[in-house]
Structure 1
């Protein structure tokens, strides 16, 4: 399956570009939706975990890289997707979770994390050492970033060889949107300047060569740049091909590579199609899937409140509000305004920081209570139309089917944009 990734640049050069959706989520229903689509379309499926979400110490999901793969494999087995159809990627692997540590201490933890990812079977590795650690500027210079990325690549290479695993494919580059979306309203966003991208590629090539990592660099398939797409808490910056034209043209000078597009959430189908055509064929998506899931779950919460005796008044939403207020660490620094604005952002922001709370026991209990209240019951068409007007007759059914269909509508735009995989 990794051959699909190595074909991306070739296909672009041959004038027949295609793309691949990078599913960035650990939510079981999101993964199930993506796996079902992969089964229906014949695969492959690219699934990515981030350094904060999954690492050798557990991350915020409590899963190590090995545990994450086992978890996804269980869902895939239930849905009939063969393991050979799945590609696992590690995203932003570097010191980010330990930025408050001294640089060397943070880098040592990052090395251990990269080794754990490779040992677990992740074969697409995004090395990101762009963030400053204790005593350093928030953003580092290209040379320091490349030197640290090379040190992480050396660990990755050594680990793969030691266990006889396939040598990884790499993603490099530092100019990425804010993970999880910006924390303010956005008005305009400029793509990475071609000269900046050119310098980033040249510095990484030089430093990897000096470190004896020419073979690893030959397996770099993409660099991360800013194509001019982003979402904030309340708005989305759409892709404008004319602004990225010069950046896209750089790929003609560097035929080994394509660009990887982060924060493509909430882009239109036409915009996603344009990104693939213009050399950004790896489309990373996360919050828009969990946003769609939350939207449908809250609709079902309201439906249950209307039709199920003793269910209560939106207990799922009330549970999530209580959880976020009791443990504000995952949203407080990202949302701004008065009490009403903060309440709305906690639940309805495009940044969807509520996704960090779904795996908590209280949230899971409320979620399962909502599903149990509706399972086996016929939801009147008129009630469905009130709270889920976008639902088609074919999608109406048990609550799990409704939730999975909500996520699948997001994935459908990506599948259409990516076209036929070569």
Structure 2
């Protein structure tokens, strides 16, 4: 069963051998290839998730519907030699968020259709997020209404699962995180979710699901999203402080069938990630750090090409991306602040990595393709690698394969997560 690794998370923790799993939250083909390639290299499953804004029945900002996203993953997996049963597919923040400017009845009807489309396409890990208000409602809803709407989505998912057959979905509830797409303000410090708030979330979801006749779906709720006290801003990272999360983590002793799901774990590093897993945050979401690593490698290659190839326009890729972001500021305006110079730096180098929304534009794909073509087969002098991409200095002894280097840059981040989520003996 594809979801068996997820249902094992709590059992292994109870047995004193906690382990975790990283959740790759990206739709970029090179990031997906890196994740799938790592699964082939190291064995075991890969968990890949799409958000409601990225992928939905209308295409989302990627232009992909759930079936399209699955087709992309399966085509890459076939090329890399990964069996389909080793791929876990998840939907993140599934709810009315893409349509929250509409009346609640319209937004929720579309959310139900979206959840059904995810299940029909083969997604079997569903994070139900109905916490945001729709037109005329408060920005954030109370636990009762949130749980009631989550139950509506669970019912839609169960109906879709009945229709298509196969494995039943597992669920994640709770929304103690910034909205999909990231926070809109500067974050300097965070407090973990209060234990009583987490308990209330769990209890209300249990009651509402039971009253709705969804006991079977309730038995497949594997995790709760809470805030462990980690986040990243445009220029800073709020690191995990396990002492501050101690009372929150203690509630898993009485909720032994559950684990926590931690969002925004990007840039935490191996030590903090390992502590999160040990403390019960068994599902670690990562996304912007992966595309940040990809952008870092692309810009390094852009600099190498600018210095090495007389006919390559200086900083061509960066120039194209700047033009794209200035022409359409919808994905970064309101997230980046300060002077014009500060905003320009953030557009390209922010930890939030909102440049990731532009890589699928035709102009960006053309510029990346041109860069790869120009450097393909070129032997790059070691000092240039040392200057712009020091991690790849050893690649200087052979003709360059830029695409493989880009995949390797993402794999480096994924390796940190893989090592941090390995089974270990607690205590």
Pairwise TM-score range, normalised by the shorter structure: over 0.9
Tell me the CA shift for residue 421 of structure 1: 9.7
Structure 1's 421 and 243: CA in aligned 2 closer, same or farther, altered over 3 A? Answer: closer
Segment drifting more, 171-180 vs 7-16: 171-180
Structure 1's 405 and 29: CA in aligned 2 closer, same or farther, altered over 3 A? Answer: same
Tell me the CA shift for residue 348 of structure 1: 0.4
Equivalent residue, structure 1, for 2:242: 241
Give SS of 1:53's match. coil
Paired residues, number: 422
Equivalent residue, structure 2, for 1:213: 214
Residues 33 and 405 of structure 1 are in contact (CA less than 8 Å); yes or no, is this contact kept in structure 2?
yes
Residues 94 and 107 of structure 1 are in contact (CA less than 8 Å); yes or no, is this contact kept in structure 2?
yes
Q: Deviations over 1:141-195 (max 9, x none)?
A: 0000000000010010011012213210000012113434434432211000000
Give the alignment of 1:173-252 within 5 angstroms: 173-252=174-253
Structure 1 Cα separation of the partners of residues 379 and 181 of structure 2: 37
Give the alignment of 1:23-422 within 5 angstroms: 23-393=24-394, 397-420=400-423
Q: CA RMSD in A?
A: 1.3
TM-score under structure 2 length normalisation? 0.97
Structure 1 Cα separation of the partners of residues 66 and 396 of structure 2: 34
Structure 1 Cα separation of the partners of residues 212 and 18 of structure 2: 33
Give SS of 1:383's match. helix
Structure 1 Cα separation of the partners of residues 29 and 424 of structure 2: 25
Give SS of 1:390's match. helix
Structure 2 Cα separation of the partners of residues 18 and 3 of structure 1: 13
Residues 52 and 95 of structure 2 are in contact (CA less than 8 Å); yes or no, is this contact kept in structure 1?
yes
Q: Deviations over 1:14-70 (max 9, x none)?
A: 110000010011111111111111001112000000000000110000000011000
Tell me the CA shift for residue 247 of structure 1: 0.6
Structure 1 Cα separation of the partners of residues 90 and 316 of structure 2: 36
Q: Deviations over 1:267-293 (max 9, x none)?
A: 010000000000001010000000010
Structure 1 Cα separation of the partners of residues 116 and 341 of structure 2: 45
Tell me the CA shift for residue 391 of structure 1: 2.3
Residues 182 and 230 of structure 1 are in contact (CA less than 8 Å); yes or no, is this contact kept in structure 2?
no
Tell me the CA shift for residue 310 of structure 1: 1.2
Q: Deviations over 1:55-95 (max 9, x none)?
A: 01100000000110000100111011111100000000000
Residues 379 and 396 of structure 2 are in contact (CA less than 8 Å); yes or no, is this contact kept in structure 1?
no
Structure 1's 97 and 265: CA in aligned 2 closer, same or farther, altered over 3 A? Answer: same
Structure 1 Cα separation of the partners of residues 334 and 101 of structure 2: 16
Structure 2 Cα separation of the partners of residues 90 and 77 of structure 1: 22
Structure 1 Cα separation of the partners of residues 101 and 301 of structure 2: 41
Tell me the CA shift for residue 100 of structure 1: 0.4
Structure 1 Cα separation of the partners of residues 393 and 181 of structure 2: 30
Structure 1 Cα separation of the partners of residues 78 and 423 of structure 2: 24
Q: Deviations over 1:354-385 (max 9, x none)?
A: 00000000000000000000001111111111
Structure 1 Cα separation of the partners of residues 151 and 311 of structure 2: 59
Tell me the CA shift for residue 395 of structure 1: 8.9
Structure 2 Cα separation of the partners of residues 129 and 328 of structure 1: 27
Residues 66 and 118 of structure 2 are in contact (CA less than 8 Å); yes or no, is this contact kept in structure 1?
yes
Structure 2 Cα separation of the partners of residues 146 and 323 of structure 1: 40
Give SS of 2:257's match. coil
Segment drifting more, 350-359 vs 383-392: 383-392
Give SS of 1:385's match. helix
